[in-house]
Chain A
Amino acid sequence: MKKQQSIGTKLIGTLAIPAIFAAVLFGLSAANGKQLFATSISVNYFVLYAAIVMITTMALSINLNSGRFDFSLGAMAVLSSVLSAKLSYSLLGGGSGSAIVMLLLCVVIGAALGLLSGLLYAALRIPPIITSLGVTLIYEGVTFTVTEGKYINTEVRNASMTAFSGTWIWPALIIVVVLALVWFLFDYTKFGYDYKALQHGQKVSVNTGIREVPNALVCYAICGALMGIVGFLSAVRSSTINGGSLNFGSIGIMFTAFLPMFIGGYIGRFSNDKLGYLIAALCMSLLNTTFAAFSNEISASMQSIINALLLVVFLIYLSNEGLLKTLFHRKKSA
């Protein structure tokens, strides 16, 4: 039987990683005379990036935890943001309310794209990783055809979008709403219970009457909606959308979510995995803010290397935790 964790253990387990991140990164910055949050803009971008990472991580983990690898997340984000930007621009011409309309359209179109991907998977009954390869190519192709391979600029550069990126309140609100909804859906509804049952015992769950296909379809639709939000937030962050990604050029978007997914999963052992994803996203955003402060010293290539090394080191720890504990206890008793 699993040992009940004390409140102290839960608190330490939940807060240890963010505390280490904060101590190291603030310490490094202070030692080099850099200020991480010198202006309000850096605070806005910190929250915005945290929202992007948290939502991408959630979208990645929903299907991955069920053994369904989905390469098409990035393509969904780009396509939903391109279509929403074009639609909202044709409706409002970049006027007031454009950002909110685009956000809502992103969610709806993203959910539709996710559902379509899920329907293909359920209908073809081929491994999800292969379906997602095909879907990625299709969505990238559609994006390229719609944009003629160009960047989308006019449609996302307006006062409404600038107002959205000019404050941390909107991204923070999105974080709260998404976190609450995903938490509620996966932890307090029949859909969530079925999802967990299927995750841990597919055959037994299906034999007991849980309907696997509808559950998978809802998962895909939720992932799509989440990636729609990511597409919108990315457009807000960079004031442009790259419509020219072909040949799996869009899959890089999801790679940012691997480290936070594992960190979130670890934190989830002490509290809740969704809360873990938020905390991990905050850590990654703090790291990103530090990179921005050290932009003259640390190149983009170096940042990729540091991120990859962090992922490897964390996974080495995670995969060998039991062994490390045994070694530690042996040393202690000796």
Chain B
Amino acid sequence: MAQTKLTKKNRLRELLVTLLPIAALLILFGVLCMVVSSRGYRLDMYLRIIFNEGVVLAVVATGAIFIYSLGSFDISLGASTLFSATIGVLVYNSTQSLPLMILTIFGVAVGCSLLSSVLASVFHIPVFVTTVAMMSVLSAVAAQIITTKGGALGGIGIPAAVVEPLDNLPFKLAVLAVFAVLCVFVFNFTKIGRRLKFLGSNPVCAKLSGIKVNVYAIIAFVMAGLGVGLGAFLTLVYTPSVTPTTAGSIGMNILVAIVFGGMPISGGSRSRIYAAIVGGFSYILLNNILKIVIDSGAGYGISQIVSAVFFLAVVYVTSMNYRTKLLPR
């Protein structure tokens, strides 16, 4: 009897923890509407900005869930987004072909991810160190290309008219939805997702069960590469030019977004695709709310502090069920 009560209580707590990120997203949305209206700003303009920023982060983070579910993490995704977009711009400028540009972006993004995974799995280099090296190489090469080709402009780009027809809410929403559905399907309804979660939860047991770690690591990185490709394409659709700082903070923001969305950074069975979307939009919403509320030069610093405190508080609450006697590592 007592045990049933305890299980019920645990289940309720689990449900609350699951719903908390979604509730936080809705609350943040409500707060944004209130803040924008109280200041007399245009809500539609803010919603467009937030959606455009959020959709890139959400798409890249959704792909990244596959890597994070393994308990690994990749901080080179921002640099990879920049590099793919840069090469895409070069290809468009030399061929004037949009389909070829899109194909190139995806090819480069998946290629970069594959390189990371091959280095990690074939040469047995720690994943994190591989991604640190990839981040340095990709951002350096992209910066070199941009400064060489962009000259005094400090950036390179494609004509705005090329991507203008795609720069609208229905198209971007459709891209996000299709990618999210694909990822949910692969992650929740195929053996790939189940095995990735198994590997993340208990790698030793998973290996002993005959699961080939290298194969699934490569699949995870390819899925992340697809997300990066989409992110790079959507970045170009929103701003048809790239500078060395484009997508610079995405790699780290993904980490924050995923945690904000209620997924543990250690991956495993509690990995969820929706965490990337919910967390990505929550993080962008929070940042924009704080920017409006603290409207001054130094306000960026204060809004980052508030955002960080909020982030730690969310993680603390969502991980309450998983406290250990030992310090976590």
Residues of A in contact with B (beta carbons under 8 Å apart): 66-69, 71, 120-122, 124-131, 133-138, 140-146, 148-149, 202-203, 206, 212-213, 216, 246-249, 251, 255, 258, 262, 299-302, 304-305, 307-309, 311-312, 315-316, 319-320
Contact status of A127 and B255, CB under 8 A, knowing A133-B311, A144-B298, A255-B136:
no
Near A by CB (< 8 A), chain B positions 90-144 give 119, 123-126, 128-130, 132-134, 136-137, 139-141, 143-144
A142 touches B305 (CB 8 A): yes
B266 contacts across to A, CB distance below 8 A: 127
How many Å lie between the Cα of A130 and that of B129 in the bound state? 18
| B301 CB contact (under 8 Å) in A125, A143, A206, A302 | A143
Chain A CB within 8 A of B315 CB: yes
Chain A CB within 8 A of B170 CB: no
- Shortest B54–chain A CB gap in Å is 15
Chain A CB within 8 A of B297 CB: yes
10 other contacts beyond A130-B259, A145-B305, A302-B140, with CB at 8 A cut-off? A69-B128, A124-B312, A126-B312, A127-B264, A140-B304, A141-B303, A145-B298, A301-B144, A304-B136, A316-B125
Chain A CB within 8 A of B42 CB: no
A149 touches B301 (CB 8 A): yes
Closest to A247 in B: B249
Contact status of A246 and B300, CB under 8 A, knowing A316-B123, A319-B125:
yes
A66 contacts across to B, CB distance below 8 A: 329
Near A by CB (< 8 A), chain B positions 294-308 give 297-298, 300-305, 307-308
Q: Count B-side interface residues using an 8 Å CB cutoff.
A: 52
- Shortest B148–chain A CB gap in Å is 9
B304 touches A255 (CB 8 A): no
How many Å lie between the Cα of A247 and that of B307 in the bound state? 11
Chain A CB within 8 A of B1 CB: no
Residues of B in contact with A (beta carbons under 8 Å apart): 119, 123-126, 128-130, 132-134, 136-137, 139-141, 143-144, 147, 248-249, 252-253, 255-256, 259, 264-266, 297-298, 300-305, 307-309, 311-312, 315-316, 319, 323-329
B300 contacts across to A, CB distance below 8 A: 141, 144, 149, 246
- The binding surface of chain A is classed by DSSP as helix
How many Å lie between the Cα of A135 and that of B315 in the bound state? 13
| B308 CB contact (under 8 Å) in A68, A69, A138, A319 | A138
Closest to A254 in B: B132
| B305 CB contact (under 8 Å) in A137, A299, A301 | A137
Closest to B78 in A: A248
- The binding surface of chain B is classed by DSSP as helix
B119 contacts across to A, CB distance below 8 A: 312, 316
A137 touches B298 (CB 8 A): no
Closest to B297 in A: A148
Contact status of A319 and B123, CB under 8 A, knowing A203-B326, A216-B327:
yes
A126 touches B301 (CB 8 A): no
How many Å lie between the Cα of A125 and that of B319 in the bound state? 9
B297 touches A149 (CB 8 A): yes
B147 contacts across to A, CB distance below 8 A: 301
How many Å lie between the Cα of A48 and that of B139 in the bound state? 27
How many Å lie between the Cα of A134 and that of B309 in the bound state? 7
- Shortest B214–chain A CB gap in Å is 14
- Shortest A99–chain B CB gap in Å is 27
- Shortest B105–chain A CB gap in Å is 21
How many Å lie between the Cα of A247 and that of B257 in the bound state? 13
B301 touches A315 (CB 8 A): no
8 closest residue pairs by CB, A with B: A144-B301, A137-B308, A145-B301, A67-B329, A141-B304, A141-B305, A304-B140, A308-B136
B328 contacts across to A, CB distance below 8 A: 125-128
Most-contacted residue by chain A among B147, B311, B328 (CB, 10 A)? B328
How many Å lie between the Cα of A255 and that of B135 in the bound state? 10
B125 touches A315 (CB 8 A): yes
B312 contacts across to A, CB distance below 8 A: 120, 124, 126, 130-131, 134
A133 contacts across to B, CB distance below 8 A: 252, 255-256, 259, 308, 311
How many Å lie between the Cα of A78 and that of B265 in the bound state? 27
A308 touches B137 (CB 8 A): yes
A319 contacts across to B, CB distance below 8 A: 123-125
Closest to A124 in B: B316
| A311 CB contact (under 8 Å) in B129, B255, B264 | B129
Contact status of A308 and B133, CB under 8 A, knowing A141-B308, A142-B301:
yes
B265 touches A130 (CB 8 A): yes
How many Å lie between the Cα of A110 and that of B128 in the bound state? 26
Selected A-B contacts with CB under 8 Å, 17 pairs: A122-B327, A124-B312, A126-B328, A129-B265, A130-B259, A130-B315, A133-B259, A136-B308, A137-B307, A141-B308, A206-B326, A212-B326, A212-B327, A247-B248, A255-B136, A299-B144, A308-B134
Closest to A143 in B: B301
How many Å lie between the Cα of A149 and that of B303 in the bound state? 13
How many Å lie between the Cα of A41 and that of B139 in the bound state? 31
Most-contacted residue by chain A among B125, B311, B324 (CB, 10 A)? B125
Closest to B119 in A: A312
| A144 CB contact (under 8 Å) in B126, B252, B304 | B304
